Amino acid sequence: MSPPLESTRPFGIDRTELVALASTWRRSGRVLANLDVDELENAVGTAASMSAVRAAAEPSQRVAIGIANRLDVLSQIVDRFGAAAAADDQAAGQALRGLADR
């Protein structure tokens, strides 16, 4: 029989990593939701390329808001996953501890 594998990390989910991930996604979502497109809207010039720059402002803002909403939803999912995983881990640990006397 081969020896057990050694691990440098405990098995399981690191709740602090999940909290940090959700927080980063929320923060990034807020940045995108507040994206300032004034510079695009107010670009000066009459060339066709400048008209294209001005026309890109509103679609850019829509895309940024869409991504911001997705990041917010993802952060909520990670939060729920973390809470559920912690509860499942606690329940499994309790069940395993119940086997100690056998």
CA 11, 16, 19, 25 dihedral sign is negative
Q: What is the mean pLDDT of residues 64-89?
A: 93
- The band of 86, judged by pLDDT with boundaries at 50, 70 and 90, is confident
In the three-class reduction of DSSP (H, G, I as helix; E, B as strand; rest coil), residue 6 is classed as coil
Of residues 66 and 100, more confidently modeled: 66
The pLDDT value given to residue 72: 97
Q: What pTM was estimated for this model as a whole?
A: 0.71
Domain boundaries, the chain: 36-96
Angle between helices 57-98 and 15-33 (to 10 degrees): 170
